[in-house]
């Protein structure tokens, strides 16, 4: 369907707005109806946008969300004039504080290959900052002071040594009262029942009892020492 009207409002940054349709197919529409418009439907060159109150001609269709424009042009099918507002350009990127060094071979210092692709034999270790073989990067005199400077590392190591010494010298030791309480058992801890129980007898006494039984059986041949008990004659 074809309609005509003017731009009601348009959000330049979001890229959408609404058209106030005043006529539909040559028939006036009263009150005007709102038609949704997206910047992709505008017929114009460059940055697509609409100016508020700009006269427009368009085709539209019905959708579950309402009326939506299909193609939007200026009067007579010409391009839309658009809004004078433009989207703000992105701010320029901030200059980098440190220049990236790129990949480097840790064996020879070359920039065109890695250490695993280096054709030279293993080289002595060098300072990664000034490439000197006389010292390492932690003790480089040309390196600016930073959080990993040698003085900072020495101070950190000193503090760590002090903490280790303090933790090794300080240990928990119970008070004499607590030590006597736990080291000396109470004399009343054993009950009289435990003293009189047979299980509390020493192992040597139990072994003596077993030996006396075995000796008795060995001397009597394992039988009753009196082969003729007195009640046998009486019963006969």
* Domains, the chain: 2-77 (2.40.50.140), 102-141 (4.10.60.10)
Neighbour-count burial of 209, counting CB atoms closer than 10 A to its CB (0-12 exposed, 13-18 middle, 19+ buried): exposed
| Mean pLDDT within 143-161 | 53
In the chain the first and final C-alpha atoms are separated, in Å, by 141
DSSP-assigned letter for residue 28: E
3-state secondary structure of 215: helix
Per-residue pLDDT tens over the stretch 11-37: 988 889 999 999 988 888 889 999 999
Q: Is the dihedral of CA 196, 200, 205, 207 positive or negative?
A: positive
| Mean pLDDT within 59-81 | 89
| Mean pLDDT within 221-226 | 54
State the DSSP H helix or E strand holding residue 223, giving kind and residue range, or none if neither. none
Q: How confident is the model at residue 86 (pLDDT cuts 50, 70, 90)?
A: low
6: phi then psi, degrees, rounded to nearest 5: -145, 165
Neighbour-count burial of 197, counting CB atoms closer than 10 A to its CB (0-12 exposed, 13-18 middle, 19+ buried): exposed
- Residue 16 CA to residue 13 CA, distance in Å, equals 8
8 with 52: CB under 8 angstroms?
yes
Per-residue pLDDT tens over the stretch 165-189: 545 555 455 554 544 444 444 444 4
CA neighbor of 41 nearest in space, from 31, 56, 25, 26: 56
**Dihedral, CA of residue 12, residue 16, residue 21 and residue 25, to nearest 10:** 120
- Residue 115 CA to residue 104 CA, distance in Å, equals 8
Mean pLDDT of the chain: 70
């Amino acid at each position: 369907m074809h309609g005509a009207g003017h731009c009601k409002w348009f959000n330049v940054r979001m890229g959408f707005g609404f058209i106030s349709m005043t006529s539909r197919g040559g028939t006036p529409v009263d009150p005007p109806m709102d038609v949704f418009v997206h910047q992709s439907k505008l017929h114009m060159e460059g940055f697509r946008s609409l100016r508020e109150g700009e006269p427009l001609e368009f085709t539209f269709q019905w959708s579950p969300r309402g009326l939506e424009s299909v193609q939007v042009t200026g009067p007579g099918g010409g391009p839309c004039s658009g809004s004078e507002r433009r989207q703000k350009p992105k701010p320029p990127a901030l200059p980098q504080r440190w220049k990236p060094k790129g990949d480097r071979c840790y064996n020879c210092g070359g920039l065109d290959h890695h250490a695993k692709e280096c054709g030279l034999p293993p080289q002595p270790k060098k300072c990664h900052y000034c490439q000197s073989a006389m010292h390492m990067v932690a003790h480089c005199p040309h390196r600016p002071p930073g959080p990993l400077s040698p003085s900072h590392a020495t101070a950190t190591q000193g503090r760590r040594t002090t903490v280790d010494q303090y933790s090794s010298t300080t240990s928990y030791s119970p008070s004499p009262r607590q030590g006597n309480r736990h080291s000396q058992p109470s004399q009343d801890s054993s009950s009289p029942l435990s003293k009189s129980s047979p299980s509390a007898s020493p192992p040597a006494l139990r072994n003596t009892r077993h030996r006396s039984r075995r000796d008795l059986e060995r001397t009597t041949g394992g039988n009753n020492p009196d082969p003729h008990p007195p009640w046998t004659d009486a019963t006969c």
